[in-house]
Amino acid sequence: MTVRLQRDRQQWFFNWMVKETGKVFHFQGDDRGGLPRSVRQHDMISKHLGKLGLRLQSMAATEEAAGHSETALELYFEASTVFASAQHPVFENNDEKRFLHGASIACFDKVRALAPAPIEHVAIPWDGTHVYANLHLLADGRKAPCVVFIPGCDMTKEMYPYPFASQAQQRGMHIISVDGPGQGECNLAGTKLTSENYADAMSAVVDYLEQRPEVDADAIGIYGMSFGSHWAVQTVAREPRVKACVAAWASICDKYHLLNVESPRYKQLFAYLTGAESEQELDAIADGMSLDGEMGSISCPTLLTVGEYDPRAPLDEVIALYQKMGCERELWVHEDQHHLCTPSGRVHASERGLWNLDTYSFMFDWLRDRFQGRSVDRSGEVTYLVTSGSGPNGTSVRTATTWMDAYDVDHEQAGEG
């Protein structure tokens, strides 16, 4: 049974935004999101995406029967992703939720069978239960670095990486994509999210990777995407065995912004992820998610990225947390971008699937550099990536904390009449 929340009073306007924009969050862009136009309110999403998933699954099976395994793989992956998106708005573990999530897993099982490199579904023992993950190995099975990918709170482990274009494997790294507490298989198995348990679960993942002969135990990294960045930072603050960390679209600030200022979807979602039985209980869990006391404990090289106007991550708060860190570190601020920020500035919804976002490529370049022993070039600095620039490694990079510093505005002129 879902918990009644104060933000439910905004549902009428939220439904209008869903209908008009095709999005449930990240409304800043002018583009239409990926929801079918037949979706006219939030409650319709699961049905209409589910119908699309069934069509894609049928097409994949037809192509598989015709011997077109590459096309079938692409369609099964797309179907798995669509089913994962369809199950997401169902905030209780009912028959619809189990069907849609199960369909996502079934399609991904087909992906594993057809993929050009091994993908293992693993259940890692932890705290009397399991953390579930997909381990994507290099085709030759050689011993190599491994990156733990922590998806955002709107994702499941099946949504990344794309088997035909894994940025980790392209760079000679294994990658393990996880469903932690509150996510995907973990939630369906009854493991809810608390303010503390995700980092504990990731330590169990590191334990597991250290036992795998294909993994270089001295080169384990973490890549947290969106809210996964919070869990990634929390993990490396407590887990010294992780050698490098990237936290993209950093959601590391006070959770007030996410749950009370961003889309109503988030507070409703976190009530489900945590299993909170009241709004007061949910607020207490969110209050316990502060990273203020964690940042100084991070010892591995860490990269944070954030949009200049990310509504869930006010830039001054991100910089304040960044300044508490004593490790090798970088912070990239993407000019005029919001939450879904990319070095090229491409619009998220215009991409055909998450695997094409250039963010992933830049993040895995950064991780590979760390595994190869390269020091962080601008450690401790805030790098402002201007919209007209050539990216984080270009000559246009500015060390600045505000747009005025980046554009060499004379501060002494401020306030003159």
pLDDT digits over 372-409, tens only? Answer: 999 998 999 999 998 888 888 887 778 888 899 888 88
CATH no. for 120-408: 3.40.50.1820
Q: Which of 28-37, 190-199, 303-312, 315-324 has the lowest mean pLDDT?
A: 28-37
- Report pLDDT for 355: 54
Q: What percent of the chain shows pLDDT beyond 90?
A: 84
Model-wide pTM > 0.85: yes
Tell me the mean pLDDT in the region 290-311. 97
- Report pLDDT for 350: 43
At residue 145's C-alpha, the angle toward residues 365 and 238, to 5°, is: 90
Within 13 Å, how many C-alpha atoms sit on residue 132's CB side? 17
- Report pLDDT for 1: 55
- Report pLDDT for 388: 82
Q: Spell out the domain ranges in the chain.
A: 9-114, 120-408
Residues facing residue 123 across a β-bridge: 132
Tell me the mean pLDDT in the region 275-283. 96
What is the rounded distance in angstroms from the CA atom of residue 52 to the CA atom of residue 62?
Answer: 15
For residue 145, say if its preceding peptide bond is cis, omega within 30 degrees of 0. Answer: no
What are the residue ranges of helices labelled H in 125-226? 167-170, 184-188, 197-211
Question: Where are the extended beta strands (E) located within 276-413?
Answer: 302-307, 329-334, 382-385, 398-399
Q: Is the pLDDT of residue 354 over 90?
A: no
Q: Is the pLDDT of residue 281 over 90?
A: yes
Secondary-structure breakdown of the chain: helix, strand, coil percentages, each rounded to the nearest 5: 45, 15, 40
**Between 355 and 373, residue with greater pLDDT:** 373
Do residues 50 and 38 make contact, with C-beta atoms less than 8 angstroms apart?
no
- Report pLDDT for 410: 73
- Report pLDDT for 357: 78
Do residues 331 and 268 make contact, with C-beta atoms less than 8 angstroms apart?
no
**For 245-261, how does the pLDDT look when each residue is reduced to its tens digit (9 = 90+)?**
999 999 999 999 999 99
Q: Is the pLDDT of residue 294 over 80?
A: yes
**For 202-244, how does the pLDDT look when each residue is reduced to its tens digit (9 = 90+)?**
999 999 999 999 999 999 999 999 999 999 999 999 999 999 9
Tell me the mean pLDDT in the region 1-20. 91
Q: Is the pLDDT of residue 411 over 70?
A: no
- Report pLDDT for 30: 82
- Report pLDDT for 344: 85
Q: Is the pLDDT of residue 417 over 90?
A: no
Tell me the mean pLDDT in the region 65-73. 98
- Report pLDDT for 352: 43
Tell me the mean pLDDT in the region 141-170. 95
Confidence class of residue 136 from pLDDT cuts 50, 70 and 90?
very high
What is the rounded distance in angstroms from the CA atom of residue 211 to the CA atom of residue 226?
Answer: 29
Confidence class of residue 317 from pLDDT cuts 50, 70 and 90?
very high
